[in-house]
């Protein structure tokens, strides 16, 4: 297979590229390096099955590929809120361009959607049938609504043009190659603990998240792409932790002198987030295997090297 991975130099994309190249697939990596880093895929430079193209998916591109893994879009609030119009354009125009490419070359396309399409959910945990509770004019809407319209585009292309789509709704993911200053809770807490800075919890720490290790997540994406399922499909870890519990686990693991401080909760920050993954278990025979303790060990060791 000739694979196109958009956002391939990013956190998720680079791990996906590792998996594909390790089984001798051909890979074209597309990235504009807004949040991606060339160091993430540097080891593949010069490999006969790997090609790197600097490109922004907002602009069309002509390529011959069999499969498209469309991951391109900043995923952390710090980055997607730094230029919200750019984020909206990436979600809409980027997905539009990739769907157009998929239609032209008759490629299967997997779109990396997000649990953020559920917004601040009124139903807990969240099944794929839940339509969400999203503020369309809030500071997170560029990302939340961007992913929602991108899903709409996918299904319209499937209905109108019989484009082969796969839609994955990705829940909180962590692991090596996260950016130290990307504002996500796992990387924030680890970096703060390693440098003995205060651990910043927004709100009272009772809000919950479900953390999926990156290897499990990538295996889920591959399972969905290789299946006959269209989705949308929740891909995430249903083990639920409060933000305060996460902070305490990381502090204990690092044996840090950092103290926890509490700051105001940002606008529209979800209070609960946990996937129902019955469909993934039943249809893909997929479920996460790496528990939080093991995943955090690997992630902490990575940040020790980076810092």
Mean pLDDT of 164-181: 96
| pLDDT band per the 50, 70, 90 thresholds, residue 288 | very high
Lowest model confidence (mean pLDDT) among 89-93, 137-141, 155-159, 181-185: 181-185
d(CA 210, CA 18): 24
143 counts as catalytic: yes
Q: Would you say 75 and 133 are in contact if contact means Cβ atoms under 8 Å apart?
A: no
- Please give the Cα distance from 247 to 3 (Å, whole number): 38
- Quick one: pLDDT at residue 13? 98
Q: Rounded to whole angstroms, how far apart are CA atoms 121 and 194?
A: 33
pLDDT, position 269 = 83
The predicted structure's pLDDT at residue 265: 86
DSSP 126: B
Instruction: Identify the bridge partners of residue 31 per DSSP, sorted by sequence position.
Output: 54
In the CATH scheme, what is the homologous superfamily, with its name and number, of domain 2-173+212-237?
A: NAD(P)-binding Rossmann-like Domain (3.40.50.720)
By percentage, how much of the chain surpasses pLDDT 70?
100
DSSP state of 239: -
The pLDDT-based confidence of 268 (bands split at 50, 70, 90) is confident
The C-alpha atoms of residue 193 and residue 258 are separated, in whole angstroms, by 6
- Predicted pLDDT of residue 181: 84
The pLDDT of residue 253 is above 90 = yes
Q: Are 241 and 211 in contact (CB under 8 A)?
A: yes
Domain extents for the chain?
2-173+212-237
Average pLDDT, the chain: 96
State the distance between the two ends of the chain, measured CA to CA, in whole angstroms: 37
- Of 80, 96, 143, 213, which is the active-site residue? 143
User: In this structure, how many other beta carbons lie within 10 angstroms of the beta carbon of residue 237?
Assistant: 28
Q: Which two tokens stand for residue 107?
A: 């490629």
pLDDT above 90 for 270: no
What's the pLDDT at 76? 81
User: Which pLDDT score, from 0 to 100, does residue 61 have?
Assistant: 98
Picking from 5-9, 48-52, 303-307, which range would have the lowest pLDDT averaged per residue?
A: 303-307
Burial class (CB in 10 A: 0-12, 13-18, 19+), 58: middle
pLDDT above 90 (res 267): no
Listed in order, strand segments (DSSP E) in 61-197 are 67-70, 108-114, 165-170, 173-174
Give the per-residue pLDDT at 281: 98
Could you give phi then psi for residue 260, rounded to 5 degrees?
-85, 130
| Interval 203-232: pLDDT, tens | 999 999 999 999 999 999 999 999 999 999
- The answer, yes or no, to whether residue 252 has pLDDT greater than 90, is yes
Residue 238 DSSP symbol: -
């Amino acid at each position: 297979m000739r694979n196109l991975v958009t956002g391939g130099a990013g956190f998720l994309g680079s791990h996906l590229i590792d998996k594909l190249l390790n089984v001798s697939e051909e890979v074209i990596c597309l990235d504009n390096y807004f949040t991606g880093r060339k160091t993430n895929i540097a080891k593949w430079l010069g490999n006969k099955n790997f090609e790197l193209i600097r490109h922004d998916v907002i602009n069309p591109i002509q390529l011959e590929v069999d499969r498209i893994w469309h991951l391109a879009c900043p995923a952390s609030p710090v980055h997607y809120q730094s230029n919200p119009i750019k984020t909206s354009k990436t979600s809409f125009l980027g997905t539009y361009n990739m769907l157009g490419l998929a239609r032209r070359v008759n490629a299967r396309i997997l779109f990396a959607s997000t649990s953020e399409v559920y917004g601040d959910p009124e139903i807990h945990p969240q099944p794929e049938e839940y339509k969400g509770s999203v503020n369309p004019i809030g500071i997170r809407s560029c990302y939340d609504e961007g992913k929602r319209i991108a899903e709409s585009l996918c299904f319209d292309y499937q209905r109108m043009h019989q484009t082969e789509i796969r839609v994955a709704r990705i829940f909180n993911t962590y692991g090596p190659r996260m950016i130290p200053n990307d504002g996500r809770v796992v990387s924030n807490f680890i970096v703060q603990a390693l440098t003995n800075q205060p651990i910043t919890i927004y709100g009272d720490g009772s809000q919950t998240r479900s953390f999926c290790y990156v290897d499990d997540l990538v295996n889920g994406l591959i399972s969905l792409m290789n299946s006959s399922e269209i989705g949308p499909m929740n891909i995430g870890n249903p083990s639920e932790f409060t933000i305060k519990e996460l902070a305490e686990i990381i502090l204990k693991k690092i044996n840090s002198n950092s103290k926890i401080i509490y700051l105001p909760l940002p606008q529209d920050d979800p209070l609960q987030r946990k996937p129902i993954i019955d469909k993934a278990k039943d249809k893909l025979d997929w479920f996460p295997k790496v528990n939080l303790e093991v995943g955090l060990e690997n992630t902490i060791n990575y940040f020790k090297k980076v810092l």
